[in-house]
Structure 1
Amino acid sequence: MDRLDTQREIARKFTKRTRIGVRIIPVHENLLAERVTAAYAARSLPDVIFHPIDFTIGWGEAGILDGRSATEVVNRLGEETFSNGPLNLVRVPEGYAAVPIDGWGQLLLYRKDLFNNAGLAVPDHWDRILQAAKVLHNPPLIWGFEVGTDPGQTYTQQVFEHFALSNGVRLTDSSGNIHLDTPQMVQVLEFYKALAKFTPPGNIYWLHTRMDFLSGRAAMIIWSPFILDELSGLRQDQPVVPDMAKGKKGFLARNTGFVSIIYGPNGAAQYGQINYLGITRDADVTKAKKWVEFLLTDGYLEWLGMAPEGKLPVRKGTLGEPNRFIDGWMRLRFGVTTRVRISEFYGMDLVKTIMSGMDGLDRWGFARGKGALISRVYGTKVIPEILKRFLNGEISAKEAARMMERRVKALE
């Protein structure tokens, strides 16, 4: 059953219980903003919109989302039943702009077997990451660390932002002013350029890093948990070269380590992507709230089961059963041709790693009310563009930091 069929099945169960009809309208993620803007102008918004955090605050400020209704849902379900991070990122004066439903934290994947053979420590600190990249770098057989370098890809922003957050670099200062021209940002730029020396030439993005890791040609990459499916070796349409070379299915998966929180000289962080359910200004509020509550209670595990490796529960449980959804998520199966539990295949260490970061997931700007600006930063790809110029040697780290601050301020 594909994701759309699963959502329709959840809706069917909801309708059977409440006699409230639900129509699921699929929209390609690249067209979501355009479709919502058009629907808002025509006063024909759907009652509920499933969307990534990139749009939440901006849509709230534009009058598309009804934060009061979303807050009422959160309070009714129990604010304490949600992970703190996803709620804090969409805090608005009336409470919360939307209701978090699922998410993932970005991971640093590394070859445990190669690390163990070389006597290298877990790459969770900048110095350990750089040291391991130097030791394991042996191109073209294996690249020490593959970072995003394509200026036209959001992936480059995501990887760079993870490292920036890990060094205490936020989009704004405590007063809410754009603050990227800092010594800490210069440190991030220089560190990123050092890692880029162990990355293949050209414009590298998520497709290359995933392909090279699954081919055994990358010692470290940064990716979302969605890679767990391909990495498992259980998919017939996705060959895993180290598994084939060793003649052992699951060899690469068993020999991959995962880091969620990266520690820099001036901080520590895990980049996260959260998805939300937004109740719109055009909604039948009573029915919309019931639908959202159903998705986060009786329909929740079925929702997460669409892709459990990348849909982590941001609601941990209920007031009566505080760990109901975490425990249920661990029993869910992933895979296409062969389905297994994440905890069975990868072990409880990985489960603890990816779940432990949910409370502390971080992003630039959202907690400071700059969500609309972040949407423009991501849309224009101004950060990857300047970063690429720096990586190419066209400008210095200090010039890049200054330029980033100036260009982002111009987007306000």
Structure 2
Amino acid sequence: MLSRPAHRLTLSLLTLALCGAASAQLTLWTTEEQPDRIAVQERIAADFEAQTGISVTVVPVNEAQMGERVTAAFAAGELPDVIYHPLNYTLGWTEAGILDTFAATEVVELLGEETFSAGALSLVEVAGEYAAVPVDGWTQLLLYRADLFEEAGLEAPSSYEAILAAIDALHNPPERYGFVAATDVSQPYMLQVFEHFALANGVQLVDDEGNVTLDTPEMVETLEFYKRLVEASPAGNLYWEQSRELYHAGRAAMIVWSPFILDELAGLRDDVPVTAFDDPTTSELAERTGFLTRLSGPSFAEGAGWSDIRYFGITVDADVDAAMQFVEYSMSEGYVDTLSVAAEGKIPVRRGPADDPEAFVEAWSNLEVGVDRRAPLSDFYSAELLGELVAGLETANRWAFAQGQGLLYSRMADTRVLVETLREFLDGDRSAEETASLMQERVAALQQ
């Protein structure tokens, strides 16, 4: 892909040049901010320093605050060297001049483009370069109490119709809520959940020509459906924390969450206990839970999934050569350790090096998860589910990126214009038809 002459050392030469040179000092900002995950990242940094002499300071940053923090640091000329971040920030940062796309592309090419998921790379391709280096990903899940569904004679909630039927049968507040929807506009979780249901009904942000396509009957259906979910949820501003808490307590029939919940459901974390049963360390809730990676709406029988990819971005303020070497290490020799930060939700997007193309997937499947107790996911979940998690990264959909409009998506996510309009609808400010039209207008304005 690179056509311009390389102006930096290749990583193999770079390693020789920098090993033992203790002068380089890097800063990594990461959205993996939980103490146990920070500890693993600091161990990776220490191993890297032992090999190269390059020190890495790991700085946790809340994902909801990452955009504002990065913008402020850029204005001050104080960006970190490397940022571990979700997809929705990548193209906006590229347009703003925050990311060094040439450095990221060099790393991808040196590691081998063919060793990465093509989908993960295509999402961040800009003008023939890659804005950032794919690290890992996850497929969003709809979790449901399979035992309660079976007792009530309900089918799995894989469609709008089945979800609403389950709400009618199982919603019994305050003892149990039929659903826990996302309603807090300050949390990225709200856009993730709504986008998942919109995709399930065939709603796209833009068409192949880049025209915004939100003012449609399918979007009106999605809005009316989402309002039903909210009506079956507790009052207030809801996001991932409340949905997990209520599900762990046995007070929710269905929630949407990432695979990061899998170790917690199995009773492996004392700080996030399962309170539905007498023993907070039991794996009983995991055994009673069903999982779906793909949903469908009334206007789109094929349905869709939703996934998130995480990336290493090398910034324009970085010590570029040292930053490239750290990313290369994290995606090769240190990659299994990188996935082990939280293996339940860090599914590999680099399956293996050219000479062992499935090595990283095989190693990931055997990684232990949990905090206070440790065990492989395979001790609690079927091989079929684990296979779906890996395959989901190849088939799951996202708004705008396939149409080459990822930058528009980033603007929409950063400004929160869509979720704020959605929240106004949920609060009764206007009809579904009026809301779809206003969403169209407000998102289209971001293209100008």
- The answer to whether TM tops 0.5 is yes
Q: Which amino acid aligns with 1:301?
A: V
Offset at 1:252?
Answer: 0.9
Q: Does 1:335 align with 2:370?
A: yes
Unaligned segments of structure 2, at least 5 residues: 1-34
2:348 matched to which residue of 1? Answer: 313
1:103–1:273 CA contact under 8 A, matched in 2: yes
TM-score normalised by structure 1 residue count: 0.91
Q: Which amino acid aligns with 1:228?
A: L
From 214, 218, 227, the equivalent of 1:184 is: 218
1:7–1:24 CA contact under 8 A, matched in 2: no
Q: Does 1:251 align with 2:284?
A: yes
Offset at 1:27?
Answer: 4.2
Offset at 1:96?
Answer: 1.5
Partner of 1:26, secondary structure, is strand
Q: 1:286-308 CA deviation, whole Å, 9 max, x = no partner?
A: 43333212111110111111111
User: Are the structure 2 counterparts of residues 2 and 208 from structure 1 closer, same or farther at C-alpha, using a change threshold of 3 Å?
Assistant: closer
Q: Which amino acid aligns with 1:148?
A: A
Higher relative contact order (CA closer than 8 Å, sequence separation 6+): 1
Q: How does 1:3-82 map to 2 (within 5 A)?
A: 3-17=37-51, 19-29=52-62, 30-82=64-116
Q: Which amino acid aligns with 1:396?
A: S
Q: Which amino acid aligns with 1:58?
A: G
1:152–1:385 CA contact under 8 A, matched in 2: no
1:388 matched to which residue of 2? Answer: 423
Q: How does 1:3-402 map to 2 (within 5 A)?
A: 3-17=37-51, 19-29=52-62, 30-244=64-278, 249-264=282-297, 265-266=299-300, 267-402=302-437
Offset at 1:248?
Answer: 8.7
| Cα distance in 1 between the residues matched to 2:170 and 2:219 | 27
How many pairs were matched up?
Answer: 410
Partner of 2:255, secondary structure, is strand
| Cα distance in 2 between the residues matched to 1:4 and 1:391 | 37
User: Are the structure 2 counterparts of residues 42 and 335 from structure 1 closer, same or farther at C-alpha, using a change threshold of 3 Å?
Assistant: same
1:180–1:404 CA contact under 8 A, matched in 2: yes
Partner of 2:277, secondary structure, is helix
TM-score normalised by structure 2 residue count: 0.84
2:54–2:322 CA contact under 8 A, matched in 1: no
Offset at 1:103?
Answer: 1.9
Offset at 1:34?
Answer: 3.9
| Cα distance in 2 between the residues matched to 1:186 and 1:63 | 37
1:84–1:360 CA contact under 8 A, matched in 2: no
Identity %: 50
| Cα distance in 1 between the residues matched to 2:81 and 2:241 | 35
Offset at 1:152?
Answer: 4.0
1:20–1:287 CA contact under 8 A, matched in 2: no
Moved more, 283-292 or 121-130: 283-292
1:57–1:370 CA contact under 8 A, matched in 2: no
Partner of 1:244, secondary structure, is coil
| Cα distance in 1 between the residues matched to 2:426 and 2:75 | 42
| Cα distance in 1 between the residues matched to 2:135 and 2:419 | 29
Unaligned segments of structure 1, at least 5 residues: none
| Cα distance in 1 between the residues matched to 2:118 and 2:75 | 33
Offset at 1:364?
Answer: 2.1
Q: 1:65-103 CA deviation, whole Å, 9 max, x = no partner?
A: 222332232233222322233222112112311111012
| Cα distance in 1 between the residues matched to 2:72 and 2:331 | 28
Offset at 1:31?
Answer: 4.5
